[in-house]
Structure 1
Amino acid sequence: MRFFSVACIAALSASNFVSAGSWFGTDDVTVNEAKKVPGDSPLQFCDTDHAKDTVHIEKVDLLPNPPESGAKLIIHATGTVFEPIEKGAYVKLTVKYGLIRLISTTADLCDQVENVDLKCPIEKGVLSITKAVDIPKEVPPGTYNVFADVYNSDDTPITCLEASVTFGSKRKSTDASESVVDL
């Protein structure tokens, strides 16, 4: 469930939620610049109208970006909450590995935000979250696609985020000439 918790945190962190960080990997990050969440992360806004979102995501940074398997990932997200986020808020989360659906679930958002020391209701105002998570070194190579659609208890949209990250060969610089070695 750590993966799910990190996904929820990402979506709320940015909204304030980062995205399934414990699955994000080493090499390629695909980002459409027009939909990109501000900051240094693979997060993008979904193809929906965000004018009525309960949370405005101002910035999400991941360190390192892209995340690396077997390393600690630090997530820093800031945003503004326009309406309180109440008990009963929920997230619809889908995670795919290539074309294979790994997770497709709806979960209680308030249970998940406790992982970043927040509790519902989350009141109006500026929200800033920093969270460190360990990414398992056993993450299989491949592309992971995450979709998190988040709603308040009255079904008003909080935010909708997606990300795509490819785990693959890790690149390391071996000398000043910037040689690249595929492991």
Structure 2
Amino acid sequence: MQFIETPTCNISKASGMGKVLQKCKLIVWDECTRGHKKSLEACHRSLQDFCGNIRPFGNTLILLAGDFRQILPVIPRSTPADEINACLKYSYFPRIPMIPMDVPLQFKRLQFPIRLVFAITINKAQGQSLELCSLDLDTGCFSHGQLHVACSRVGKPDNLYICTDNGTTKNIVYPQAL
């Protein structure tokens, strides 16, 4: 995708992906909250072009799935205002109904058994389910939603251990993004 005033996807109608997108009736966009608003706008324009239909997304149904309490778009060398402005909720695109779903926090996921102790970053932990989790927050989280992501990786609160120097940490949440 090119970040220009009127973004489009870099996919031609004649390509294999272009032909698949022309036939799609439903597109499920998981973890959409991590995407830049320009990605949604590019998808909209490209599908209009591919399908030859001026209706939103070329009349293709788009299911956006995500949690705004989690990580927003990552923009190198940005400010919190840049991240909030880039999130889907601030797209110029005509308002898409965002329906909060009461979904249990625990999703059954297919995963390979993990027998070794290992360390991963919070960003890499998103989407993982861990039996036991220890968070080293001596340096704190650096972006919106990272503490939520880290704490939600473990199934049982009793199996979550948080280590900090003074017993506290800063949880960064931008209310405008919720």
Larger Rg: 2
The two structures share one fold, judged by TM-score above 0.5 = no
Q: Which has the higher contact order (CA 8 A, sep 6+)?
A: 1
Query: What TM-score do the two structures reach when normalised by structure 1?
Result: 0.25
> Which structure dedicates a bigger proportion of its chain to strand?
1
Query: What TM-score do the two structures reach when normalised by structure 2?
Result: 0.25
